[in-house]
């Protein structure tokens, strides 16, 4: 059975969605090929283990079923028609701030060992080497959702000891940082990359490698990690996608536009 790393990421992300949960799907993962992965993960979860999950989008949309076709932007007509609610951005963000959203998906150009994300500036923000597009809704999801899942391509220069700028707060400098700065949301619970799945230590809040994707090893992941990588005691390969999961992902993305 063959599949792409992006298909595996979609399937791993879908497994992070619990049944009956309110999921901030959003759309704005910063790298093109990753942009629609949360939407596909939501579609897959709905059709497998989480039929009662609900999806939120920051343009003001609440959906109980995935759009009939994978839209090119979250505001294209297929993502609006048949929505449970199409309202203002403020009303969606209000649900988030009330603490009702169980999980959200976000990405970034850079991540660090505590799951802080940068989508704003590479280098000093006063004299940036690269000006990135900015937060969108990412900073809000990271601040306010009960937990969030990061989806990113893994390359050493993106996996930093410390990001240059925190756009979307992870666990800060670890431990009880979020509580100290006043953040109510629980922070990142998983980091899904092209090479493996990371989770965050319950006390130190540092990311550790929980599983490596088929074809990878602990060492191959380590070489693409910019900090001294910690590894789960029971680290092993990421579970293989099932044929049924792959079939659903491909039916949602028949041309392989987002996953090939």
Partner 1 sequence: MPTGRTCQGVSANCAVGGTRSIVGAVSKLASMRDAVARLVPDGASVCLGTGLEAVIPFAGGHELIRQGKRDLTLIGPISDMLFDQLIGAGCCRKVVAAWVGNVIAGLGHNYRRAAERGVPHPIEVEDHSNFTLALGLLAGSLGAPYIPTRSLLGTGILESNRSLKLGTDPWAGDPLVLVPAIVPDVSIVHVQRADAEGNCHLWGTLGVSREAALAARAVIVVAEEIRPREQILADPNLVLVPSLKVGAVVHEPWGALPSPCQGFYSSLARQVGAGRSRLEGISGSARDRDPGASQGEGAPPLRSPRLRGPLMAHTALLHDLNVFRARALPAQPLGGGIGRGAEPPSEQ
Q: How far is CA 47 from CA 41, 52, 153, in A?
A: 10, 10, 26
Q: What is the number of other CB atoms lying within 10 angstroms of the CB of residue 19?
A: 12
Cβ–Cβ contacts within 10 Å for residue 71, how many? Answer: 17
Tokens 């992902």 identify what position? 249
Q: Rounded to whole angstroms, what are the CA distances from 68 to 82, 157, 176, 249?
A: 9, 37, 42, 13
Nearer to partner 1, 76 or 161 (CB): 76
Report, in Å, the least distance between residue 61 CB and partner 1: 7
The pair of structure tokens assigned to 227 is 């900090």
Name the site residues for partner 1 (rule: CB under 8 A): 27-28, 30-33, 58-61, 71-77, 80, 86-90, 93, 96-97, 109, 118, 120-122, 125, 128-140, 143-144, 155, 157-158, 165-169, 172, 177-178, 181-184, 255-257
- Name the residue among 108, 198, 192, 209 with its Cα closest to residue 157: 108
| Distance from C-alpha of 107 to C-alpha of 22, rounded to nearest angstrom | 19
In the bound complex, what is the minimum distance in angstroms from residue 189's beta carbon to partner 1?
A: 18
CB of 176 vs partner 1, minimal distance in Å: 12
CB of 242 vs partner 1, minimal distance in Å = 26
Contact between 158 and 152 (Cβ < 8 Å): yes
Cite the active site residues: 58
Q: Which is nearer to partner 1, 194 or 211 (CB)?
A: 194
Asked whether 182 and 176 are in contact (CB, 8 A), the reply is no
In the bound complex, what is the minimum distance in angstroms from residue 28's beta carbon to partner 1? 7
């Amino acid at each position: 059975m063959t599949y792409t790393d992006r298909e595996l990421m979609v399937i791993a992300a879908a497994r992070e969605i619990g049944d009956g949960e309110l999921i901030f799907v959003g759309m704005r993962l910063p790298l093109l090929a990753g942009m629609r992965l949360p939407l596909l993960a939501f579609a897959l979860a709905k059709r497998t283990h989480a039929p009662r999950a609900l999806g939120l989008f920051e343009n003001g949309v609440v959906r109980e079923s995935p759009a009939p076709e994978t839209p090119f932007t979250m505001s294209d007509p297929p993502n609006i028609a048949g929505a449970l609610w199409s309202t203002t951005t403020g009303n969606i963000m209000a649900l988030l701030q009330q603490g009702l959203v169980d999980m959200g998906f976000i990405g970034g150009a850079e991540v660090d060992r505590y799951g802080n994300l940068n989508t704003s500036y590479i280098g000093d923000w006063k004299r940036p080497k690269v000006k990135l597009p900015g937060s969108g809704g990412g900073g809000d999801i990271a601040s306010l959702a009960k937990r969030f899942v990061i989806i990113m391509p893994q390359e050493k220069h993106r996996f930093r000891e410390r990001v240059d700028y925190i756009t979307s707060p992870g666990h800060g400098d670890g431990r009880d940082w979020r509580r100290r700065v006043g953040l109510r949301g629980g922070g990142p619970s998983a980091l899904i990359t092209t090479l493996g799945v990371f989770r965050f230590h319950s006390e130190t809040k540092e990311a550790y490698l929980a599983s490596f994707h088929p074809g990878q090893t602990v060492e191959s992941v380590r070489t693409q990690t910019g900090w001294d990588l910690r590894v789960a005691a029971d680290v092993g390969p990421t579970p293989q996608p099932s044929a049924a999961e792959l079939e659903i992902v491909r039916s949602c993305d028949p041309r392989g536009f987002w996953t090939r």
